Structure 1
Amino acid sequence: MLFKRLFQRRKRTSDNAEASIQPKAPGRLQDKGLRRSASEQHADSVTPASEVEALSQALKQAPDESARETLSERLVAALCKEIAPEPSAEAFQDMLAAVQAPQALEQVARQAPSPRARGAAIARILNPKVLADCAVEDRLAANRSLAVERLTAKEPLEDVQHRIGKRDKTVYRIAREKLRLIAEQEERPRLIRAQCEDILAKLERLGRLGNWSQDRALLDHLQRQWTEIADDVDPEWLARLAAERDRFLHAYDEHCRENSAQIAEQTAMEAAREQAEALLDELQALVDHGESETIEVERIAAAWEKLPGHASKEGSALHKRYDRCMQALSASRQARADQQQQGERLAKLLATLERLSADSRTLDYKRATSVLQEGRTLAIALPDQAQASAFIGLADRLESRLQRQHKQAEQKLKDFPKRLQELEAHLAAGELKKADPIYQSLQAALELMHTSGIRKSEETKLSSQLRALAPRLRELQNWRRWGADQHREALCADMEALIEKDSPLEALAETLRALQANWKNLDKTGSPASQALWDRFHQASETVYARCRPYMESQAAEREANRAAREQVCEQLEAFLSKVDWERVDWKKIMRAEREMRQTWASIGQTEGRHRKQLERRFYQSLHQLDQRLDAERKRNQTHKRGLVERVQALVDLPDLDAAIEQTKAIQREWHTTVPARQKDENKLWQRFRAACDAVFERRAALQQAHVSGLQQNLEAREALCREAIELASRTQDPKQLAVAQRELAERWRAAESLPVPRQAAGKLAQSWQKSCAELEARRRNAEEQARAASFDLLKQQAQLCERIEQMLLNDASDLTPTAAIEEAWSQLPTQEDEGLQQAIAQRFQQALSAAEAPSKGAALKERLDANAERRGHLCLQLEIIAGIESPTELAQQRLEFQVARLAERMAEGEDDPLQGATSLLHEWYLCGPARLDEALKDRFTRVSDALTQRPTATAEPA
């Protein structure tokens, strides 16, 4: 690709500024190429580096002053010319080391074309005026910085700062900083005097107000400040400082001695006071904790007596505090002893109350009331003891029991006459079985009235009435005893018959249990059996039991095994309930375990009656806890599912379908059953949830169908753009129309590209578009190249017509008749599409015609021959660099210097691309006229032109 612009030197503003290049014709493109200054374009030949080095060596070896002056002048003259090849900066410094004349060095610093030579001269000159001029006018930034660095005087620095302005910010900053330092140096004596006065004034105030510690630290601070400026201070000030310092130090030492004595005395007093306060703190701690150990108190009292008099003397605040603590400790010991006695009494009463509470018999009202009253009084006095709270709890329960007992006694007293009448009626009817329980209950009622503190007179009256009925009851009991004995004899006979009866052991055992149950029922009637009958029945029972023992033992062992199995199931269930983490539990495993435990419990056989109820209650209580947990989780899971259904139903009308689908999927993942409800309820909930989810996904199916249709339409639109691009490339020839159409198609493609297409067709579609764009781009470039070639051909023809007129003027032709034919040929040529280019070449043609008509203008035209010839040489050299064509051998150094100098200037100026396009250079060539005929230059340009027209995007050589 062609570089867009040429290297361009900035205009120099020094006294020896470069001469301006001849101005272009009106409308001509601006000249951005390299131009040498007037001093570089003089007619003298270039000085070889070997000659300069020879002069330098000769100057170093010159035998006398006259020879040194002559050689110095010649060396300076050589340095003020261009040197090829240019030596290094170190070489220039070595050359100028032998030059002693200041004027010679200043001349090199001002006029030398080599930046290195100027820098070496600047490094040696001392004239502030010359250094200021170099800091402002030198073309190299490094030389300007070096010059301003060597300046030390105020006036030249102010001159540099005023003249440089914003052209070189580095030089401006250096000059400003140097001026600031100079101003500070000038101001320093006044500041030092002011600082001396301030320090001495502060020294005189030291010790006046008695702030010795603060003043001593301030003295050190002032001493440090004085040390920093001591080298610039007069001896008079130093003497005053020493006098004031000695005065303060002497006074400070006196103060320190007095203060030390006071501190020692105060320290002793503080130590005694701290010891006293420590002892008082220990006493206070004993008082606060209620401790009064004799050993500790005696130790503290002994230590107190040993304290100095001013700390423990009577009447002092510390001594009063000591007395208060000792009195408090004495009172605490007495209170502790009283409290201990009350606690022992309360413990005894609590034990008594526990015995009364544990006794299931009727309570003695008077005794219980006395214990309760005394115990409550002690519990109120000792609220912090554990026995007090325990006593209060037992007392409340015992009082409730006494109240219930009293109510029962009152009710018994109220019902006693009626029950007594019932007893008389049953006795009169001879119904002992009904009369005996009533008599026993009336006896118990009388005992309850006596212990419950019911009125004594009424109790005595009722007791005498009951005793009057006792003989009639005993008579009926005797008759019942005779009948019971007859029944017992029959039971004895039946039991004895079983001894020899041949029956299965199971049936024999059942009969044995039935007879024993009948015997017990007879005992419950209230008529005890005689010892002879009991011995007869018992002996027969033992004999029958001996026969049934194997069966009974096997049954007992089986029931014991069943009991152990049921206890094991209960223990397993209880252990499971105690260990399970209900926050993180597998409810399906819980339900399976619950079913298995029920099945296991049902499969276990019978147990003893005394164990069966207890085990059943224990098992079903634990199972009830598990069922409560399951029921709570079942309700929670049902609530959770209903909430999920409501959330999905709310998503059916959500405008953002993608968000609705994602949320629905997330909700579906949340649907799970931990503890199922009835199958009917579960199915109903699931159907509602499934219907809501289907409604959301049906919206997506409809949108997907619409999306597919939209993708197909977008695909067809892009394919139409590809076909349109190919058709446009085949039928359009105008490059401007092609460029406009290309931009329009690109914009339409970018707009269409934002619309989605089927994924499988995207790659092929992109390839098709790239191919179409490539064909269109190739067509446009081909058209542009054709137009460019046509433009160059036309420009070449126009330039040839201009040159014909110009050559006639240069050859001083007297017959200018052919100019009419040339004008006719010019008028028949088409115009350039570039209006600026057409105006520029037309201006050249009109200038040539005007010069042919007016001799004065012809003379002015001839004056531009040399400048245009040199300009064409530069243009040809630049075109050779761009085209990559070798230049003539004699121009190799010039070509290298051109590239190196422009690279350095580009780096200094921060330019990105120092070359312009070859097209503008070619245009400048044809617009540059008149010029003398140079066949060699013409051949070089023809070769370059052919190369560039065949390769329009030539790459420049690296600079």
Structure 2
Amino acid sequence: MSSDPWGRVDETGTVYVRTADGEKVVGSWQAGSPDEALAYFERKYEGLVVEIGLLEKRVRTTDLSSKDAMAAIGHLREQVDAHHAVGDLDALRGRLDKLVELVDKRREERKAQRARQSEEARQAKEALVVEAEELAQSDQWRSAGERLRALVDTWKGLPRLDRKSDDELWHRFSHARSAFSKRRKQHFAQLDAQREEARRIKEQLVGEAEALSGSTDWGPTAARYRDLMAQWKAAGRAQREHEEELWNRFRGAQDVFFAARSSVFAERDAEQAENLKLKEELAGEAEKLLPVTDLKAARAAFRQLNERWEAIGHVPRDARPKVEGRMHAVERAIQEAEEAEWRRTNPEARARAAGLTGQLQAAVDKLKGQIEQARAQGNTAKAEKLERELEGRQALLDQALKGLQEFGG
């Protein structure tokens, strides 16, 4: 008979293991000594210790699933409960119980982690849906389209939710993308129609511009080209492949017309500059007639100068007021001299002026006599009143005398 702290072998070769519930039969040993029997079943115990240790390490350090871990624990527990080993089997059961607790804990942690990940994924997908729905209303076709494509890639990288939630969010997400695509398609279809209409209008404008390019009706044609340009801008842009070609034709027609006009205007400007020089010389000659001393000679000389003036032709528009003003000033001076001569030699006017002067002189003399009489009578107030009246009559008399002198009298 042989024994150790955890087992023994009786005289019949039966091997026992000691447990908290008492001794349990491990097996029968007939092939050798009792010590060899204990050593054999102790090695089986050590094998269980190693297997449990390995399982503990896998549970703690790997992502072994709870299902696989519980299956491995159950298999080891069956071996421990079978009592086919000699050792502290109760300690092994305790380790397996703790391992079950650890697996349960890891299962709950993973469940909570999955719940957090699912909630994070749900929030992320809801955020993608909200942004997609906002982008669906955007008119920034390129940037919004690129962003929507990026959102799809982001969506694909997120974990799936429960089927109902995932399908609902995807339906909203997909609907937003479809709405944007529909609006963008409609926009570009409308834009194509507008560009086609712009092409049609601009082809008509180009046709008219080219027809006008040879015109020599400078003012109206230049005004019409301005109208055509305004219509060109209002028409909008045609398709890119047509816009440049039409513009080159339109601009080319204008260039032909305005180059011809510039050439003609350059010749005209040179001619008008020469005309200005001649008219300035005539204006200088006319100014030498002033002041008018011989009215008849001045009038004849100015008439000759004016005939030469009219024969010269146009001068530059901006110089016209000044040079014409000089001639008009001489003409006005001669006219004023004529009016003065007429007034001086007009008998009727002279008689009227003499009559008025006589009447005013008589009135002044009368007032002077009345003033002297009032003072002699001591009536100062009346004298002062008459003196004020005398001042007014005297002023009129002085003016009349001056006018009479112009008639030589």
Match of 1:560 among 40, 45, 49: 49
2:215–2:257 contact (8 Å) kept in structure 1: no
For residues 516-595 of structure 1, what are the structure 2 equivalents within 5 Å? 546=34, 552-553=41-42, 555-572=44-61, 593=63, 595=65
> What SS is found at the alignment partner of 1:625?
helix
1:626 maps to 110
Match of 1:786 among 267, 272, 288: 267
Residues 644 and 839 from structure 1, CA distance in 2 versus in 1: closer, same or farther, beyond 3 angstroms? closer
Distance 2:154 2:108 in 1: 29
Measured after TM superposition, the shift of residue 712 of structure 1 is: 3.2
2:160–2:166 contact (8 Å) kept in structure 1: yes
Match of 1:729 among 199, 210, 213: 213
> What SS is found at the alignment partner of 1:671?
helix
Q: Does 1:774 align with 2:255?
A: yes
Match of 1:617 among 84, 101, 109: 101
Measured after TM superposition, the shift of residue 674 of structure 1 is: 4.4
Measured after TM superposition, the shift of residue 778 of structure 1 is: 1.1
Matched AA of 1:638: R
Distance 1:603 1:750 in 2: 83
Matched AA of 1:568: K
- 1:690-722 deviation per Cα after TM superposition (whole angstroms, max 9, x unaligned): 233212221111111112222333344445444
For residues 338-737 of structure 1, what are the structure 2 equivalents within 5 Å? 546=34, 552-553=41-42, 555-572=44-61, 593=63, 595=65, 599=68, 602=71, 606=76, 608=80, 610=93, 611-649=95-133, 652=136, 654=137, 656=139, 658=141, 664=148, 667-668=151-152, 670-672=154-156, 674-678=158-162, 682-683=166-167, 685-734=169-218, 736-737=219-220
> What SS is found at the alignment partner of 1:730?
coil
Distance 2:55 2:152 in 1: 44
Distance 2:207 2:263 in 1: 20
Matched AA of 1:837: R
For residues 724-873 of structure 1, what are the structure 2 equivalents within 5 Å? 724-734=208-218, 736-749=219-232, 755-761=236-242, 763-764=244-245, 767-792=248-273, 834=317, 837=320, 840=323
For residues 224-263 of structure 1, what are the structure 2 equivalents within 5 Å? none
- 1:118-148 deviation per Cα after TM superposition (whole angstroms, max 9, x unaligned): xxxxxxxxxxxxxxxxxxxxxxxxxxxxxxx
1:719–1:765 contact (8 Å) kept in structure 2: yes
- 1:596-636 deviation per Cα after TM superposition (whole angstroms, max 9, x unaligned): x7557756852535132222222221232122111222133
Distance 2:168 2:328 in 1: 101
Distance 2:220 2:271 in 1: 17
Distance 1:744 1:598 in 2: 86
Residues 551 and 804 from structure 1, CA distance in 2 versus in 1: closer, same or farther, beyond 3 angstroms? same
Residues 731 and 695 from structure 1, CA distance in 2 versus in 1: closer, same or farther, beyond 3 angstroms? same
Distance 1:805 1:657 in 2: 74
Residues 773 and 553 from structure 1, CA distance in 2 versus in 1: closer, same or farther, beyond 3 angstroms? farther
Structure 1: where are the runs of 5+ without partners?
A: 1-494, 500-508, 524-536, 574-592, 807-813, 855-959
1:286 maps to none
Distance 2:268 2:229 in 1: 23
Taking every aligned residue pair, what percent have the same amino acid on both sides? 17
Q: Specify which structure has the higher proportion of strand.
A: 2
Measured after TM superposition, the shift of residue 827 of structure 1 is: 6.3
2:212–2:257 contact (8 Å) kept in structure 1: yes
1:721–1:749 contact (8 Å) kept in structure 2: yes
Measured after TM superposition, the shift of residue 684 of structure 1 is: 5.3
- 1:509-535 deviation per Cα after TM superposition (whole angstroms, max 9, x unaligned): 9xx67x999x959x9xxxxxxxxxxxx
Distance 2:133 2:127 in 1: 10
Matched AA of 1:775: V
- 1:850-886 deviation per Cα after TM superposition (whole angstroms, max 9, x unaligned): 99xx9xxxxxxxxxxxxxxxxxxxxxxxxxxxxxxxx
Distance 1:677 1:805 in 2: 105
Distance 1:572 1:731 in 2: 95
1:633–1:674 contact (8 Å) kept in structure 2: no
Measured after TM superposition, the shift of residue 781 of structure 1 is: 0.9
1:931 maps to none
Residues 626 and 594 from structure 1, CA distance in 2 versus in 1: closer, same or farther, beyond 3 angstroms? farther
1:711–1:758 contact (8 Å) kept in structure 2: yes
Aligned-residue CA RMSD in angstroms? Answer: 5.4
- 1:718-768 deviation per Cα after TM superposition (whole angstroms, max 9, x unaligned): 45444444433312332x33554454455555555xx44444555545544
2:213–2:256 contact (8 Å) kept in structure 1: yes
1:726–1:776 contact (8 Å) kept in structure 2: no
Residues 572 and 845 from structure 1, CA distance in 2 versus in 1: closer, same or farther, beyond 3 angstroms? closer
Residues 846 and 558 from structure 1, CA distance in 2 versus in 1: closer, same or farther, beyond 3 angstroms? closer
Measured after TM superposition, the shift of residue 568 of structure 1 is: 0.6
- 1:570-597 deviation per Cα after TM superposition (whole angstroms, max 9, x unaligned): 3315xxxxxxxxxxxxxxxxxxx465x7
1:718–1:749 contact (8 Å) kept in structure 2: yes
2:195–2:238 contact (8 Å) kept in structure 1: yes
For residues 944-959 of structure 1, what are the structure 2 equivalents within 5 Å? none
Matched AA of 1:791: Q
Measured after TM superposition, the shift of residue 771 of structure 1 is: 3.3
- 1:559-578 deviation per Cα after TM superposition (whole angstroms, max 9, x unaligned): 222101111123315xxxxx
Between Structure 1 and Structure 2, how many residues are aligned?
Answer: 297
> What SS is found at the alignment partner of 2:213?
helix
2:362 maps to none
Distance 1:718 1:832 in 2: 40
Residues 733 and 619 from structure 1, CA distance in 2 versus in 1: closer, same or farther, beyond 3 angstroms? same
> What SS is found at the alignment partner of 2:76?
coil
Identify the structure with bigger relative contact order (alpha carbons < 8 Å, sequence gap 6+): 1
Residues 843 and 760 from structure 1, CA distance in 2 versus in 1: closer, same or farther, beyond 3 angstroms? same
1:712–1:757 contact (8 Å) kept in structure 2: yes
Distance 1:748 1:594 in 2: 77
Residues 616 and 766 from structure 1, CA distance in 2 versus in 1: closer, same or farther, beyond 3 angstroms? same
1:712–1:758 contact (8 Å) kept in structure 2: yes
Distance 2:161 2:285 in 1: 112
- 1:178-199 deviation per Cα after TM superposition (whole angstroms, max 9, x unaligned): xxxxxxxxxxxxxxxxxxxxxx
Residues 702 and 805 from structure 1, CA distance in 2 versus in 1: closer, same or farther, beyond 3 angstroms? closer
Measured after TM superposition, the shift of residue 552 of structure 1 is: 3.3
1:250 maps to none
Matched AA of 1:644: L
Residues 619 and 742 from structure 1, CA distance in 2 versus in 1: closer, same or farther, beyond 3 angstroms? same
> What SS is found at the alignment partner of 1:620?
helix
Matched AA of 1:560: V
2:135–2:148 contact (8 Å) kept in structure 1: yes
Distance 2:309 2:177 in 1: 85
Measured after TM superposition, the shift of residue 647 of structure 1 is: 5.0
2:29–2:37 contact (8 Å) kept in structure 1: no
